[in-house]
Structure 1
């Protein structure tokens, strides 16, 4: 599979291979705006309201940021990119009662918008259909990639690439901080060395916060809480640092932040080499 290989829009995601000796997967779940026609037909917003919601909720250009970081890093990481909007399904949410965002209608299948309006009917049958069509295949593919890297390297680090608006949206139930870069952690899967590597990599980007406004990081459910060979860190970038808000063109900040992300990738691989040596 070549540098631009992948699984295609029919699957809803793309896998971009990295170096055989890389321990890093860049996961980009919320960069896309695509809503398939059959899903759009079930959304209760008119076109203008849908466009506004996509502007608020899409982590615009984070796919470009991850791609630039991958091309800049000394050892090319693997990249997993969601090609569909999170309004189709959100692959980062738990698909069951563990998901805290269900309280605001934003579990794996959203029924409410970022300001609390009705997005789609609260229909368990439709939810199950969307999970079967999009969520579970996506989750299996990420799991398979993690397992493949574990088989080769014995460990893997998932760096979850996100962004968030400079002004708090009504749906948010997390922390109130708005740092230029937020690092989301997990008590099992984010070791101290990885957290500190994140802080060091983004030290020149205006400052970092920890688990505010968003906490946690993505780990496939098969490994979550069980396999410490899988480490993870979420990188949330405040949007005014790299684009014209809400979802306008990138600014010069994109290259700066991509360079910092590449530095983090290099730090992870160097730490893995040190542990091996």
Structure 2
């Protein structure tokens, strides 16, 4: 979906003053500003198909429903632009392993490894315009929770396809209904345990396969143990028609499970 008028890049939706929980939804949107669309080489139909594959459809709605069900409303930080603009969860430099498949902070390849942008595209304008403001705002959101409650818990809300896509670097492992991505520093055992219990009725959970790790702002990553983090990757066939179709009744069940996790924190 191309947008000609300026669109907000992200939105922080307030929760309860006493809540340490921040639901982070980075990949749910399909909106691409027209000036960014001009640098993408795909035709309109091809781009729509790529958006079907790359977008974590309905995850913003999932977080919204969970927030409404939770006993104490969590905060929500939602990306309002497609990850084809920039991916706010990538490193903006050579530390990013996804550069190997053209999917660093600014993608040059699609999920099927076709050309998205010319390989010699300079990523810096998009990084400065979209990536860095997002990172600064997310850092503020987390530090505000630390100041208000003495801790912060980032729950990263994602989805993934039931069948591997060609861009995946670690596609050989299990693809459970709910994959929990963890970090050795920021994911304490009690957070993993709470997530396993909350999602027990959603078909089963697994750890770090097919996607591993968590999102923590770089200024805090590996430095502040008061920041907990967990990635929740939901297999799409459990709640929607793949690749980019409508949601089904599974979304409500998952929202209740996510709310239960929020309440446990």
Q: Normalized against structure 1, the TM-score is what? A: 0.92
Instruction: Describe the superposition over 1:118-158 as per-residue Cα deviations: whole angstroms up to 9, x where unpaired.
Output: 10012353x00000000000000000111111111110000
**Counterpart pick for 1:129 among 125, 132, 136:** 125
Residue matched to 1:243: 240
Q: Equivalences for 1:60-99 in 2 at 5 Å?
A: 60-99=57-96
Residue matched to 1:142: 138
**Counterpart pick for 2:178 among 177, 181, 190:** 181
Q: Kindly indicate whether the alpha-carbon contact (under 8 Å) linking 2:181 and 2:232 is maintained by their aligned counterparts in 1.
A: yes
Q: Kindly indicate whether the alpha-carbon contact (under 8 Å) linking 1:31 and 1:59 is maintained by their aligned counterparts in 2.
A: yes
Q: Kindly indicate whether the alpha-carbon contact (under 8 Å) linking 1:11 and 1:134 is maintained by their aligned counterparts in 2.
A: no
Q: Kindly indicate whether the alpha-carbon contact (under 8 Å) linking 2:177 and 2:238 is maintained by their aligned counterparts in 1.
A: yes
**Counterpart pick for 2:158 among 162, 172, 182:** 162
* 1:233 aligns to 2:230 (yes or no): yes
Residue matched to 2:3: none
Unaligned runs of 5+ in 1: 1-8, 269-277
Deviation at 1:104, TM superposition (A): 0.5
Q: Kindly indicate whether the alpha-carbon contact (under 8 Å) linking 2:7 and 2:33 is maintained by their aligned counterparts in 1.
A: no
Structure-2 separation of matches of 1:47 and 1:85: 15
* 1:199 aligns to 2:182 (yes or no): no
Structure-2 separation of matches of 1:36 and 1:81: 17
Detail structure 1 runs of 4+ shifted over 3 Å in the superposition.
none
Unaligned runs of 5+ in 2: 1-5
Residue matched to 2:112: 115
Aligned residues: CA RMSD: 0.9
Deviation at 1:11, TM superposition (A): 3.8
* 1:43 aligns to 2:37 (yes or no): no
Structure-1 separation of matches of 2:192 and 2:97: 24
Instruction: Describe the superposition over 1:148-198 as per-residue Cα deviations: whole angstroms up to 9, x where unpaired.
Output: 111111100000000001110000012521100000001110000001111
Structure-2 separation of matches of 1:208 and 1:106: 27
Structure-1 separation of matches of 2:113 and 2:144: 40
Instruction: Describe the superposition over 1:46-98 as per-residue Cα deviations: whole angstroms up to 9, x where unpaired.
Output: 11110000000000000000000000000000000000000000001111111
SS at match of 2:32: coil
Structure-2 separation of matches of 1:248 and 1:165: 12
Which 10-residue stretch deviates more, 78-87 or 171-180? 171-180
Residue matched to 1:272: none
